[in-house]
Amino acid sequence: MFNLLGFARKGARLIAAISLTGAIAACDVTLPTVGGGGGETLGGEGTTVALLVPYGSSTPGDEALARSLENAARLAAADLGGNVNIKVYRTAGQAGTAAAVADQAIAEGASVIVGPLRSDAANAAAVAARDDGVNVLAFSNNTSIAGGNLFVLGNTFDNIANRLVRYAGAQGRSRVVVVYSRTPVGQIARSAVVKATSGTNVQIVGDGSFEFSEQGIAAAAPVIAQTVSASGADAIMLTDDSAGALPLLAQKLPASGVNPSVVKSLGLTRWDVPSQTLALPGLQGGWFALPDPTLASRFNARYQGAYGQAPHPLAGLAYDGVAAVGALAAKNLKASAGNLTQSSGFAGVNGVFRLKGDGTIERALAIAQVTNSQVQIIDPAPKSFSRGGF
């Protein structure tokens, strides 16, 4: 389904599975090249970090993802010069196992947990760690589980929508139709866009929902086009990704009369993954958000040099979590909620980020435009939280 450009649907449908990588304590740090990790524990006298990853999972790809997360965490630990001591725990991708190993890790001296991967496992680990006052920095981007002692490291629809909506409003694109699937993920995406308009000059002037099927999208495209025309919209927010409905929407909507040169397409997901997506007619001239590509490429190259292969797109989340804890440890600060949510945040090879009191995350993102089927950065990612763009 949706195999319009000859690329297959691959991987798990994580909400906004965006390539997020790396963080370190200061923007001007040059990361040294290090070799691959050894056993499960790195020596050091600093903070003990329990890394919960899905080794032993029956889900295809989880073993390789677990290795990539561990490798990235070890890069961060090496960069921090002994401020953190990592011990790896296998969750098998199961919530019950995640809770059990969280208890084990705390009994063995862990003062903070980084991981696990999915929201059910993350929630279970956080519940297990709550009474001990141990915080969990999960790789999930599901904001519904965030709060208390659970922080999500994954980029969220809320974060992306905030960046895009504010940029669009500043450029005079203030009347938006939201295009989304009638699925739980689609509803979450729509809600994020609606929330992002609060306090801005941007209005949601129409909905373009569709049944998540090829027939459903084909049937909805003319109706969405009519909504765009009748509402006077000057932008449409496409919430789906290139592994789902985006390719078909980006062909059917122009064919139904939505002119990309008049109505700006905005993307709540990455349009450059895979790169063939950039050639879709409905995306030409459109805008989407992504981490600073120069910094992301630097991390990817460094990981490749250390481990002989490219990192998984989510590997940098492990680097983020370990580096944030290590940055605090370098100042003799615990990974308490107050310290983790410091307003200045943390900066890194993929840009600055900060954890919020409600357990969600803010990440610096650039705005890209699709120009001649290529990515063109038209508004760079902020370098700190002292300037706009968040």
Distance CA(77)–CA(332), nearest Å, equals: 16
Nearest to 355 by CA among 338, 368, 370: 338
Quickly tell me which residue has 């600060």 as its tokens.
Answer: 333
Calpha distance 145→65 (Å, rounded)? 22
The CB-side HSE value for 105 (13 A sphere, CA atoms) comes to 36
Cα torsion through 379, 17, 340, 89, rounded to 10 = -150
pLDDT in tens, 167-200: 999 999 999 999 999 999 999 999 999 999 999 9
**What is d(CA 305, CA 357) in angstroms, rounded to the nearest whole number?**
36
Q: How do residues 41-64 score in pLDDT, each as one tens digit?
A: 333 457 999 999 999 999 999 999
Q: So what's the pLDDT on residue 79?
A: 87
Q: With a cut of 50, which residues of the chain have pLDDT below it?
A: 1-44, 389
Q: How far apart are CA 53 and CA 70, in angstroms?
A: 8
Whether the pTM exceeds 0.95: the reply is: no
CA pair distance 1, 244, nearest whole angstrom? 8
Each residue's pLDDT tens digit, 308-333: 999 999 999 999 999 999 999 989 99
**Within a 10 A sphere around the Cβ of 185, how many other Cβ atoms?**
19
Separation of alpha carbons 174 and 180, rounded Å: 19
Q: What is the pLDDT, as a whole number, of residue 81?
A: 80
